[in-house]
Amino acid sequence: MKVKTKSGKVDKAWLNEHVNDPYVKLARKEGYRARAAYKLQEMDEQLGLIRPGYTVVDLGCTPGAWSQYLRRRMAAGAAGPLDGTIIALDILPMQPIEGVTYLHGDFRAPEMRERLEQALNGRGVDVVVSDMAPNLSGIGSADAARMAQLVELALDFACKHLKPEGALVAKLFHGSGYSDLVSLFQQTFQRVKPFKPKASRGKSAETFLVGRGLGPGKGAAATELARSA
């Protein structure tokens, strides 16, 4: 494992922190591909987001820890058959997960969103989870704009495909544009909750917004999809 830094001391410090991270150790023990699984687990346990039988879309899925958690949560036992539908998408390749439909491509591209819609085959979506984030340039305004674009695309997808009482979980960063995205969530959903999971590193600016129940006028397309599901 190599981490590019200006200082070998910083490099060693980061590696030491990572190796000794309790969530990293737990992920290895429980067979998760990344410690990020415990972020989704905590949100699910506190808010009751995921149930067997659901249709769930996992955006920014690689390496697959969130899809793994969804797969276990929606199965009859951790290794049992999947009860529901999981469709995962990422610009980076992901190793297969039994029962999970994986789409390789850029969610920002209209043709990839079309492929995702085709994979849904008319089903209404119960939950969209998005761990998408741009490659950070270090230029705050540019990074904030790229992040906002991903969140807005996830919101647009949610408005079109969520069932009326469905939920969207989206990662974003505190900083420029954060309050605007919170306002956008509040305009879209009946209930909005910011969430900073314990598994999210304390130094990280990441947080998550959970929106539930499409607001009036937001769910017309989702309602029609839900009726046909």
Give the residue numbers annotated as catalytic, written as ranges. 171
Tell me: is residue 66 an annotated ligand-binding position: yes
- In whole angstroms, give the CA distance from residue 220 to residue 164: 8
Tell me: is residue 211 an annotated ligand-binding position: no
Tell me: is residue 106 an annotated ligand-binding position: yes
- In whole angstroms, give the CA distance from residue 40 to residue 46: 10
> What is the phi/psi pair of residue 94, to 5°?
-130, 135
List Cβ neighbours of 51 (8 Å cut-off, separation of 6 or more).
Answer: 74, 126
- In whole angstroms, give the CA distance from residue 203 to residue 21: 13
- In whole angstroms, give the CA distance from residue 9 to residue 13: 6
Identify the burial level of 63 via C-beta atoms within 10 angstroms of its C-beta, where 0-12 means exposed, 13-18 middle and 19 or more buried.
Answer: middle
Tell me: is residue 131 an annotated ligand-binding position: yes
Beta-sheet strands, E only, within the chain: 55-59, 85-90, 100-104, 125-130, 162-173, 189-195, 206-214
Binding positions for S-adenosyl-L-methionine: 64, 66, 90, 106, 131
What residue numbers does the annotated binding site cover? 64, 66, 90, 106, 131
